[in-house]
Amino acid sequence: MEIIILVFILLGLGIIYFVAKFFSEGLKAITKLMVFLVLILMVLTALVYQDMENLRKGLKLNNNTFFLYEEERLYTGVTLKPLNNLTLTLDSFNYFTSEEIRELETKFRNKKYEDMLKSNYRIFFFTPAVIKKPLTQSIGVELNENDMLEMIKSKDPYQLLAEKTQAKYNLSVEILKVELKNFYGDDEKIKSFLFAALIANYFQKQGAGELVKNIKDNQLMVYPESVSFKVIRYLPWV
């Protein structure tokens, strides 16, 4: 919120509060209560915007980990390293092994978020709907965001990838699965690469206030969650 807007709002509230002195006792009490409530909401809104600014700085200067989840299922995760520039690439991330993701999923189901946090500034839990923004990625064949999410959520991502590339290479699915896995790595490796691409795409294409909206709509969980993050869900204009 621009400082000039805050100044005009405060000025308007001051005038209303002064004029209320000439109202009847009942109307005066109601007016003062409304002014008080608006002031509280303004303070809470300012806290939210300040928290968002701190969050942007935290994303730039610290490690932050992102997970893709639905209900109690944790599909994959990546850690975004401190940013030296605004351009995100696959090298901007660190990746987990399959064993690490299984351990983290157990902690996630038991809500042991502090154990998952470790040395990160924040951990973010994205639902598929949040990061499903238009994107094309080439890994032997052109994949769109729906293809990528389908592979990430699959128990056999290379089966899906082999089926999508079979027509291009004119090889059996079984042979393609082996060759693709030898080239890209185990299942978690390909999943985390695709997720990193979707995360980078999300931050590069998100609109103004979209991060706040995602939090407000419970499509994105953040830990640790400050007081202002909780407040976001109840402020109608945020």
Domain that holds residue 122: 62-205
Cα(177)–Cα(157) distance, rounded to whole angstroms?
9
If DSSP codes are grouped into helix, strand and coil, which group holds residue 89? Answer: coil
Kindly report the average pLDDT of the chain as a whole number: 82
In a domain, 189, yes or no: yes
Q: Report residue 85 CA to chain centroid gap.
A: 19
- pLDDT tens per residue, range 200-214: 899 888 876 787 788
- Whether residue 28 is predicted with pLDDT greater than 70 in this model: the reply is no
Give yes or no for a contact between 48 and 40, defined as CB atoms under 8 angstroms apart. no
Cα(44)–Cα(38) distance, rounded to whole angstroms?
10
Domain count, the chain: 1
In a domain, 90, yes or no: yes
- pLDDT tens per residue, range 89-139: 778 889 999 999 999 999 999 999 999 998 899 999 999 999 999 999 988
- Of all residues in the chain, the percent with pLDDT exceeding 70 is 76
In a domain, 167, yes or no: yes
Label residue 177 by pLDDT band (50, 70, 90). very high
Report field, pTM of the whole predicted structure over 0.85: no
